[in-house]
Amino acid sequence: MATLELKNVEKTYGNVDVIHGIDLSIDSGDFCVFVGPSGCGKSTLLRMIAGLESITDGEVLIEGNVVNHITAAKRGLAMVFQSYALYPHMTVRNNLSFGLENLNTPKSEIKYRVDEAARMLQIEDLLKRRPGQLSGGQRQRVAIGRAVVREPKIFLFDEPLSNLDAELRVAMRGEIASLHQRLGNTMVYVTHDQVEAMTMADKIAVLRAGRVEQYGKPLDIYNNPVNKFVAGFIGSPSMNFLEAVVTSVDSDSIVVATPEGSTVTLDSNRFATEPNQKLSIGIRANHLEVVDSDAGDFVMEVVSAEQLGGETYLYGNIGENSSFTVHLPGQVNIARGEKIGVVLRKIETQLFDLASGNSLRQQ
Ligand SMILES: Nc1ncnc2c1ncn2[C@@H]1O[C@H](COP(=O)(O)OP(=O)(O)OP(=O)(O)O)[C@@H](O)[C@H]1O
Ligand SMILES: [Mg+2]
């Protein structure tokens, strides 16, 4: 087990800044997920930790030691890639043992570690096959096995499940989580799938354009997003947003009005706002109730309804151009074209400054 720290880490390709000074401290044994949209710098950051990419500025520390100038092979890390990167001409057993042979590990030790990893990942029956004779999920297990046999201090995963179909992805997600439980190693896992992030992580780092927007436990981030970007990125379906303006603030309440003429009253102890401030109301689809169209905070015109049996999604619009999603438990008899009243659960409602996107919650 090992700690991993990033201190003001920067990356520049030519004259393009890609990573803008990232500070991050990952505790020993933590499962840390880097999540963020495509191109935000997740792989670059992981490759800098791995030693596959130079560090333009700042420091990477493993177990408290700066490793900037230590080669990838000597950092004691193992990386699993999206593309598996298996050797096609070698058997599974040779794919697993190859790295250890290069390190001059004794033959009996190699056999022991490969057999252990194969047992753990349930690929014992596949050891004589070549990668071309395996399914995607089996190949990914071999790629993980190749990392396991190296007994690394830290595992690095770069979108290891994105080539798998949805069902297999869910199964492998569980397997990686239980691998983490069994081994207890520090793991850093890159994904742009926020559901993977929520379900696997001890801690999530939400990245945007080369910066960490928020770092914390999944539910802390879900419940207290620091800005509109994080609020919209974490949670499925995405948080609903409605533009509004503050019409009055007093010691108890804040009244906000939306362009189509609705008003909502919120507890003024929860938010720091001022009159006339333009903001964005944020509310998750499952923090809403549906009532008659004249009895809610807002009127929503339902554009489509998805009845999944155990739950119902209603998609529609509030006012001219604010699309809105309502997620209700159970079965609800509401059809396309209907107008419904939507009530916000006030305690779960968030406010963000419209210009900066920052959360207006009082900490
Ligand atoms: N070798 C390179 N030269 C120049 N720019 C690069 C290079 N590698 C990456 N970039 C740029 O750095 C940025 C971050 O890329 P990176 O691959 O880290 O993104 P990512 O978050 O992993 O995205 P994805 O989710 O699509 O994998 C992108 O804008 C990319 O175009
Ligand atoms: Mg990437």
Q: List pLDDT tens digits, range 35-75.
A: 999 999 999 999 999 999 999 999 999 999 999 999 998 99
Q: Which atom of ligand 1 is nearest to the CA of 11?
A: 12
> 166-183 vs 136-149: helix axis angle to the nearest 10?
20
**DSSP letter assigned to residue 287:** S
Residues 226 and 255 placed together within one structural domain of the fold: no
Torsion, CA 114, CA 116, CA 120, CA 126, rounded to 10: 40
Residues with C-beta less than 6 Å from any ligand 1 atom:
13, 18, 36, 38-44, 192
Judge whether 359 lies within some domain.
no
Residues 41 and 183 placed together within one structural domain of the fold: yes
Q: Which ligand is nearest to the CA of 18?
A: 1
345 has a pLDDT exceeding 80: yes
Residues 139 and 194 placed together within one structural domain of the fold: yes
Give the Cα separation of 288 and 237 in Å (integer): 13
Residues 219 and 244 placed together within one structural domain of the fold: no
Give the residue numbers spanning the domain of 264: 240-353
Nearest CA to ligand 1 atom 9: 44
Give the distance (Å) from ligand 1 centre to CA of residue 272: 37
Long-range contacts of 181-185 (CB under 8 A, 24+ apart): 182/120, 183/148, 184/1, 184/29, 185/1, 185/2, 185/29, 185/152, 185/153, 185/154, 185/155
Q: In this prediction, what percent of the chain has a pLDDT beyond 70? A: 99
Question: Pick from 199, 230, 261: which residue ends a domain?
Answer: 230
Q: Which atom of ligand 1 is nearest to the CA of 41?
A: 18
Mean pLDDT estimate for the chain: 93
Judge whether 48 lies within some domain.
yes
Give the distance (Å) from ligand 1 centre to CA of residue 58: 19
CA 168 vs. chain centroid, Å, equals 18
**Residues 6+ away with beta carbon under 8 Å from 2:** 28, 62, 63, 76, 153, 154, 185, 186
Overall average pLDDT of the 88-114 stretch: 92
- CA within 13 Å, CB half, 312: 17
Give the distance (Å) from ligand 1 centre to CA of residue 294: 50
What pLDDT is stored for residue 219 in this prediction?
97
According to the 3-state scheme, what is the secondary structure of 4-43? EEEEEEEEEECCEEEEEEEEEEECCCCEEEEECCCCCCHH
In which residue are the tokens 């210009």 written?
355
Q: Which ligand is nearest to the CA of 40?
A: 1
Q: Give the total number of structural domains in the chain.
A: 2
CB 45 within 8 A of CB 22: yes
User: Residue 344 — pLDDT band, cuts 50, 70, 90?
Assistant: very high
Judge whether 61 lies within some domain.
yes
Residues 212 and 249 placed together within one structural domain of the fold: no
Residues 213 and 256 placed together within one structural domain of the fold: no
Residues 195 and 280 placed together within one structural domain of the fold: no
Overall average pLDDT of the 184-195 stretch: 92
